[in-house]
Amino acid sequence: MFFAFPQTPLDRVDLSVAVLLGACVVLMGFGNALNIPLLGRSQGFMTYSKFAQEKAGRMIPSMELPSRLGMFLLYFPPALLAFSSLRPQAYTAFAWMNIYYADKISPPLSDDPLTASEDVFLSVGLALFFIGQGGNLYHHWCLRCLRKLGEVGYKVPTGGLFEFVAAPHYLFELISWLGVAFCTRHIYALVLFVGMCAYLFERASAQDEWNRKKLKDKYLAHRKRILPFIW
């Protein structure tokens, strides 16, 4: 079976937590379309990055921070926690749970024909993960190079898949999450992948709408949101 399901009471407890986390991510993805309180693009917990500038309709008090400081506070503490203890807290919960299930489900690489199919899953998963990470890094670098030192304001993203979609870095992030699902082969990873698809497809749609509104005629009309030539 490609995806493993919980076998013990402890596994079932773990999975219930995983499903809850996945459901929260899915709700974040559909929050704007379904008009769920506190989860819209211009209100509540989804008002970060450039969307935080849209103050109209904001439902909870907020404190504005510089983008670089905000991203540092969001990602550095969980990363530090992951390297120091691997305890399931904050954003590190996703990484910790994937490591937990990968250790339980995925066998080590082996020359034994009986485990050859398992090795294929792991190899494909690792390939997808590193392709996703590399593509994500490259497109963030494309964004980094848009403005020269001292320049301000927004420019039309160019380079790589930015010629075809609004958010190629989101697409490559999803490729990485799919790779994690292949590596762990646990139903939890599938739940998380589906949740991240819902969330990042929504953010890509928001990015596309923002680009067309902000950049107007400079933004090429044929560009899709996240899937080249499709959507």
How many degrees, rounded to 5, is the angle at CA 68 between CA 31 and CA 210?
Answer: 40
Whether residue 110 is contained in a domain is answered as yes
**Alpha-carbon dihedral 207, 67, 199, 96, rounded to 10 degrees:** 150
Whether residue 59 is contained in a domain is answered as no
pLDDT tens sequence across 38-75: 666 665 555 666 666 555 445 555 566 676 777 777 67
Q: How many domains does the structure of the chain reveal?
A: 1
Whether residue 122 is contained in a domain is answered as yes
Other residues' Cβ atoms within 10 Å of the Cβ of residue 217: 7
DSSP result, the chain: --SB---SHHHHHHHHHHHHHHHHHHHHHHTTTTT-TT-STTSGGG--GGGGG--TT--S------HHHHHHHHHHHHHHHHHHT----TTHHHHHHHHHHHHHHPPPP-S-GGGHHHHHHHHHHHHHHHHHHHHHHHHHHHHHTSS-TT--S-----SGGGGTBS-HHHHHHHHHHHHHHHHH-BHHHHHHHHHHHHHHHHHHHHHHHHHHHHHGGGS-TT-BSSSTTT-
pLDDT value, residue 51: 66
pLDDT band at 161 (very low <50, low <70, confident <90, very high): very high
pLDDT value, residue 162: 96
Whether residue 40 is contained in a domain is answered as no
pLDDT value, residue 56: 47
Whether residue 177 is contained in a domain is answered as yes
pLDDT tens sequence across 86-131: 554 465 566 666 666 666 654 544 555 555 566 788 889 999 999 9
Whether residue 167 is contained in a domain is answered as yes
Q: Which amino acid is at 44?
A: G
- The residue segments making up the domain with residue 180 are 9-30+65-218
pLDDT band at 136 (very low <50, low <70, confident <90, very high): very high
| C-alpha distances in Å from residue 161, one per residue of 50, 140, 143, 153, 189 | 21, 11, 12, 22, 26
Whether residue 231 is contained in a domain is answered as no
Whether residue 47 is contained in a domain is answered as no
The predicted model scores a pTM of: 0.75
Which residues, at least 6 apart from 156, have a Cβ–Cβ distance to it below 8 Å?
211, 215, 218, 219, 220
